[in-house]
Amino acid sequence: MSIFRVRISALLAACVVAAGLAGWANFTTGKAPSASTGGAQAAARSVTVYAAASLKSPFTEIASEFEAANPGTKVTLNFAGSSTLVSQITQGAPADVFASADSRNMAELSAAGLIDGTPINFATNVLTIAVPSTDPASLSSFTDLAKPGIRVVICEPQVPCGSATEKVQKATGTTLKPVSEESSVTDVLGKITSGEADAGLVYVTDVKTAGDKVKGISFSESNQAVNTYPIATVGSSKNTELANAFIGVVTGSEGKKVLGDAGFGAP
List, for residues 63-105, the tens digit of each pLDDT value: 999 999 888 999 999 999 999 999 999 999 999 999 999 999 9
According to the model, what pLDDT value does residue 45 have? 87
Are 10 and 119 found together in one domain? yes
Mean pLDDT computed over every residue of the chain: 87
Are 82 and 22 found together in one domain? yes
Q: Which residue has the higher pLDDT, 4 or 59?
A: 59
Residue 266 forms part of a structural domain: no
Are 41 and 94 found together in one domain? yes
pLDDT at 110 over 70: yes
Are 116 and 135 found together in one domain? no
According to the model, what pLDDT value does residue 4 have? 54
Are 252 and 237 found together in one domain? yes
Q: How far apart are CA 244 and CA 259, in angstroms?
A: 18
The contacts found for 26-33 with CB under 8 angstroms, 24 or more apart, are 27/70, 27/72, 27/73, 30/70, 30/71, 30/72, 31/71, 31/72, 32/71, 32/72, 33/72
Q: How far apart are CA 248 and CA 232, in angstroms?
A: 10
Are 237 and 148 found together in one domain? no
Q: How many domains does the chain have?
A: 2
Are 152 and 68 found together in one domain? no
pLDDT at 200 over 90: yes
pLDDT at 56 over 50: yes
Q: Which residue has the higher pLDDT, 60 or 24?
A: 60
199 CA to centre of own chain:
23
Are 117 and 18 found together in one domain? yes
pLDDT at 16 over 70: no
Are 172 and 246 found together in one domain? no
pLDDT at 250 over 80: yes
Amino acid at 130: A
Are 115 and 237 found together in one domain? yes
pLDDT at 22 over 70: no
pLDDT at 183 over 50: yes
Residue 267 forms part of a structural domain: no
Instruction: Tell me the pLDDT band of 15, cut-offs 50, 70 and 90.
Output: very low
Residue 70 structural domain: 3-124+228-261
Domain at 209, CATH number: 3.40.190.10
According to the model, what pLDDT value does residue 70 have? 87
33-49 per-position pLDDT tens digit: 333 334 444 444 899 99
Are 33 and 93 found together in one domain? yes
Alpha-helical (H) ranges within the chain are 3-19, 22-28, 38-43, 56-69, 82-90, 103-111, 160-172, 185-193, 204-210, 240-251, 253-261
According to the model, what pLDDT value does residue 9 have? 53
Q: Which of 29-38, 105-114, 151-160, 192-201 has the lowest mean pLDDT?
A: 29-38
134-160 per-position pLDDT tens digit: 888 999 999 999 999 999 999 999 999
Q: How far apart are CA 101 and CA 254, in angstroms?
A: 20
